[in-house]
Structure 1
Amino acid sequence: MKVANELKALEARLGHSFSRPELLVRAVTHSSMSSPTRQDNQRLEFLGDRVLGLVMAEALLEHDKSASEGQLAPRFNALVRKEACADVAREIDLGAALKLGRSEMMSGGRRKQALLGDAMEAVIAAVYRDAGFDVARAMILRLWGSRVQSVEADARDPKTSLQEWAQARKLPPPRYEMVKRSGPDHAPVFTISVQLENGMAAEATDNSKRKAEQAAAKAMLAEVEKG
């Protein structure tokens, strides 16, 4: 199968030349472009998520041999979640190689976090199927770079930490509300507010609703810790 120029360029950025290029083609094919004769990347995404998880679990154990499961779990989640996969995808310009249907292309699909994260997992699976686990692991560790070493010593979810802070003081759970949504559909911007029963409030803005909630919770934790 002939590999298009953008896929050849992607191979160079991945540091892997496919002996079965059809795997890479499938990995970058979104469901909006699938057909009876053209498979999309959803099954590869499923597999790639597991390969990535094993590599990150091993890397974390190797990096910190004394960490407890309670410390490792949030670090692991920070490294394998869709946001992390999408960040890596942006660094290698994976979006430029995505095969999208017209509607997805017109709505900015090449920049969408969910599409990029899914495609990154699918590419991992494609490399694994093409060349085996050792090659896939080497690529993942190279692309994730210093993330394993720099992941926060306690990568605990700020929303969980804030909820536990409130529970310890017998307060109801924090309330999250969307203050504003702006920007085009393909690149929305969310402003989220979090409030505590004691009257304290904080807000944050991000292009991901989840990230805005996390940032608002982090801002609130900074405030309550001052007191």
Structure 2
Amino acid sequence: MRTLEPETKLWLEGLGFHVTDELLWLEALTHGSTGHERDYERLEFLGDRVLGLSIAEWLYHNSKGAEGELAQRLNALVSRQSCARCARQIGVPEHVRLGKQARDDGAADSDNVLGDIMEALLGASFIQNGFDATRDVVRQIWKDTVEGHVGRSKHPKSALQEWAAGNQRRPPQYEIIGRTGPDHAARFTVRVTVKNVGEVDATAASKQDAETEAARLFMEKFG
């Protein structure tokens, strides 16, 4: 029977997770490339919702912003990039279980993989320890991110949309013009175009991040 490595269990408990069902936590740390029947995908699905509710509650009680401002901050704080950043900060790359090829391809430092595993750990915590205990761990891990500047400035896509409207231009159009790499380390290239103004390409680990970067670069060039 597969079990957690002792140092992995100590690491999880040091973060504030309460580990009793070791197979559940093993599942949360296991990538599909290992070939095991149980990997993190189902737990990631659950953890994504737990994280969203945890952060939304946090913002509601600690921010006087309007709904639009709260939504902007929420989207930034639960984004793949934010999840991956938090995963790196707590040491997830040292404990993720990957197949040899995926590890050789750099999956241990992939935003997609680390973001998914961060959410899978929250899913495991919710199943085993409930929402309140998981929310408390989220507040600990996301503390610096929430108290920082993430999501406080206007999102680049919103800024570009408003710029186009203010200059009597058609809304910006986004299209995927390229995709490279394996699924766990995919790279997307997106082109944003504003008719009669210009176009800009950008590449990132997800379609959403590529669109955001393209909008940011467009505003730097044409805004």
TM class by shorter-chain length?
0.7 to 0.9
Write out aligned runs for 1:1-227 (5 A).
2-35=3-36, 38-64=37-63, 66-151=64-149, 154-174=152-172, 196-199=194-197, 210-211=208-209, 213-221=211-219
User: What residue identity is the alignment partner of 2:12?
Assistant: E
Q: 1:85·1:116 contact (CA, 8 Å) conserved in 2?
A: yes
1:117 is displaced (CA, Å) by: 0.8
Q: 2:112·2:205 contact (CA, 8 Å) conserved in 1?
A: no
Q: Across the two proteins, how many residue pairs are aligned to each other?
A: 221
TM superposition score normalised by structure 1: 0.79
State the identity %: 37
Deviates more, 1:197-206 or 1:42-51: 197-206
Specify whether residues 7 and 72 from structure 1 end up closer, same or farther in structure 2 by C-alpha distance, changes over 3 A only.
same
TM superposition score normalised by structure 2: 0.80
Q: 1:78·1:151 contact (CA, 8 Å) conserved in 2?
A: no
CA distance, structure 2, for counterparts of residue 140 and residue 181 of structure 1: 32
CA distance, structure 2, for counterparts of residue 48 and residue 191 of structure 1: 28
Q: Give CA deviations for 1:134-193 in whole Å, capped at 9, x if unaligned.
A: 2111111100012223345745431232023213323234466899999x9787888877
Specify whether residues 31 and 179 from structure 1 end up closer, same or farther in structure 2 by C-alpha distance, changes over 3 A only.
closer
1:62 is displaced (CA, Å) by: 1.0
Q: Give CA deviations for 1:63-117 in whole Å, capped at 9, x if unaligned.
A: 11x3211111111111112111111111112122111123212211111111111
CA distance, structure 1, for counterparts of residue 201 and residue 153 of structure 2: 21
**Secondary structure, counterpart of 1:221 in structure 2:** helix
CA distance, structure 2, for counterparts of residue 208 and residue 97 of structure 1: 23
